[in-house]
Amino acid sequence: MTLTVDVGNSHTVVGLWKGGGLTQTLRLSTDAKRTADEWRILLNAWLKDSRVEGKISRAAFCSVVPAASSALGDAIIAMGVKSPLWLSADIKLNFGFNYPQPQTLGADRIADLIAAKHFFGENCIAVDFGTAITFSVLTDGKFQGGVIAPGITSSLEALFSSTAKLPKIAFHQTKSGLGKSTGESIEIGAFVGWRGVVREILAEIKRELPLNGANHKVVATGGISESLDFAPDFFDVVDKNLTLKGLYLAAEETL
């Protein structure tokens, strides 16, 4: 079996693979202070609860939180996995770079591009909704660059934490364009505002692509991606597990 782990700024997503299929996932808050022993106990308990027979023989990770990486790696090695793969631009990938410093590209974005290239071809745009929203562009099988924008959930949390009287609301589609209460006003601002952010960034990206991006598949991923009511307007595919799939493909190719 193969274990894949995507350590993000806010959340960590773990995937368990058997026979080429993703059998179980675990989503938890990222804690940079979690020790190797705590990681090992947590993962062993989850594997036991999953009731999937077999032993983990391979593991692949991507992390944007360096403080969490060492403890997680030590835990996996303690669980019997030799030489887990830490994804980076320095390993063999299924795409190339038209980008000055590929080593600075986030490992999660590399995982997204591995999966996007594998499943959707050499012309695609991967949009990952996490703490930040990242737009990563692949043209003719090479990474061309992208855009990083503030994330939806993190922006709303910043609004609520910085104001004393504004109510906390969930991000969802609104039917009105004019709020009749404070809560409705925030809902409209969030939904219409972020729909506009995605629309405008994609439009700007496509203006710089051959045929205005007509040959590029647009793929959305991230924990919130499947709850975006505007997704059909902008994305050809929505796959919340795209990053885990990229990690698995990297493990298959490298380990």
User: How far, in Å, CA of 97 to CA of 109, rounded?
Assistant: 13
State the burial class of residue 224 (Cβ atoms within 10 Å of its Cβ: 0-12, 13-18, 19+).
Answer: middle
Given pLDDT bands bounded at 50, 70 and 90, which one contains residue 227? confident
Catalytic positions are 108
Q: Please tell me the distance from the alpha carbon of residue 101 to that of residue 104, in angstroms, as a whole number.
A: 6
Q: How far apart are the first and last CA of the chain?
A: 12
Pairing of strands 142-150, 96-97: parallel
Query: 163 Cβ partners below 8 Å, 6+ apart?
Result: none
DSSP 141: T
Q: Which two tokens stand for residue 76?
A: 């996996």
Sign (positive/negative) of CA torsion 133, 65, 124, 15? Answer: negative
**Whole-angstrom distance, CA of residue 9 vs CA of residue 130:** 8
State the pTM of this model: 0.92
Tokens of 237: 């595919």
pLDDT at 225 over 70: yes
Structural domains in the chain? 2-86 (3.30.420.40), 96-153+182-247 (3.30.420.40)
Residue 36, both tokens: 């190797």
Contact of 216 with 206, CB cutoff 8 Å: yes
Q: Which residues of 104-131 are buried (b: 16+ CB within 10 A; e: fewer)?
A: ebbbbbbbbbbbbbbbbebbbbbbbbbb
Residue 255 confidence (pLDDT): 57
Average pLDDT, the chain: 91
pLDDT digits (tens, 9 = 90+) for 29-64: 999 999 999 999 999 999 888 887 778 999 999 999
The whole-number average pLDDT for the span 12-37 is: 94
Average pLDDT over residues 163-189: 81
